Each structure stands twice: as C-alpha cells, then as structure tokens.
Amino acid sequence: MLRFISFALFVLVGITSFSQDEVSFKTTDSLTIYATDYFVSPENPYVILLHQENYSRGEYKDIALKLVKLNYNCLAMDLRVGGSVNGITNETASEIHQKGLYPTYLDALNDINAAITYIQTRSKKKVILFGSSFSGSLAMIEAQKDTMVKAVIAFSPGEYFLPQFNVENALAGFSKPILAACSPNEYSYVKELLSKVPTKNKTI
C-alpha cells in the first residue's frame, strides 16, 4: 500500500518524487504545532504555508503539490488560531481550545518561529513564508527580524493587530523581497500598508 501511495504521488506531480508526512513540533511556549511536511530534498528550500483565520493547513492541499512540482519542500501548518477547511481540522487550535486557551493572532508568531527551527533539521536553506490574511502580515513581521527567512508571499495582508502592533511601521526599511497579492478593492490599502518598504523590494 505504501509503495502504491508513493507511486500515486509521483504520478500526481509529474517527475518530482516526494514524501508527505504528518508531523508535530513544540513552540518555545510549549504548545504542540501540527503540520504536513511535503519533502522533496534537503538540497531544496522550504516554503512555509500559513493559513488564514478560521482555517487549517487544508487551505494548501492543492497549492503545496504545485510548489512540490517546482522542486520546493513545503510545510503546511496548523497555526494556534483557526478552524477547518477542505475536510481538514486545525489540530493545533483544537488542542489549545480543549485546554481552555484562546491565543491572539500575534501569539502565532511563536508557531512560525518553531516551524523555521523544525525546518533547519530538514534543510539548511533559507525559507520562504507564504501567508494569507492575518498570517500574511505575520509572515512579513517574522521576515523582518529572522535571518533564516529569504522572502515573503502575502495574500491580503493588513493591520490585524491594532492597537497592540502596527504592521506598516514595523516594515520600515524591509530588505527582503515581498510579493503582496490582493483584490482590486484592496490595492490602495495594501499599497499604503507597504509604503515604508523600499520600492525595489516589493511587488503588489
């Protein structure tokens, strides 16, 4: 059966062979993070896939396979805030709620940091953070301070953490590539959000 599954995955993405494993690791504040690890090779960089609010790692079921085909390793995470999507429940958030804990969006920065630490046991390449909504903003915040982050892809980022934290100000002088994607209605807002990022480092 395992041989058949490996063959099916091989056929599904074309010529790229990879493994797909359910993994878990601890954060610095002792929470367990659950994720799916799509692993091609230690020679390839990782894309860390971060879901939007009320979602799970299931948001990236299809996208992860496309990135694998492009020879990226992927780690699709269940952040500590979320729900379910595409038939996959956010195991991290479920476990935390069972303990009576209700973390904030900003608390999930610990989850991203733990994922980067986990990835260093798999590949020494710098990572790309791929976030959606609040996690797109978290990806940019983490990238600003983490030398192991090479670049960021952010779908519909925004000021999700006011008044506690201002994303626009935190991105002043951002020195890594950012691709920010949004709807036409969001364009002016996202442009303002990234106004302090040097033009050469951003594409909106």
Whether this model's pTM surpasses 0.85: yes
Give the helix ranges, DSSP H, for 104-149: 109-119, 134-145
| Neighbour tally for 183: CB within 10 Å | 10
Q: For residues 166 and 192, is the Cβ–Cβ distance under 8 A?
A: no
Task: Give the residues across from 22 on adjacent strands.
Answer: 36
Per-position pLDDT tens, the chain of length 204: 444 344 444 444 455 699 999 999 999 999 999 999 999 999 999 999 999 999 999 999 999 999 999 999 999 999 999 999 999 999 999 999 999 998 999 999 999 999 999 999 999 999 999 999 999 999 999 999 999 999 999 999 999 999 999 999 999 999 999 999 999 999 999 999 999 999 999 999
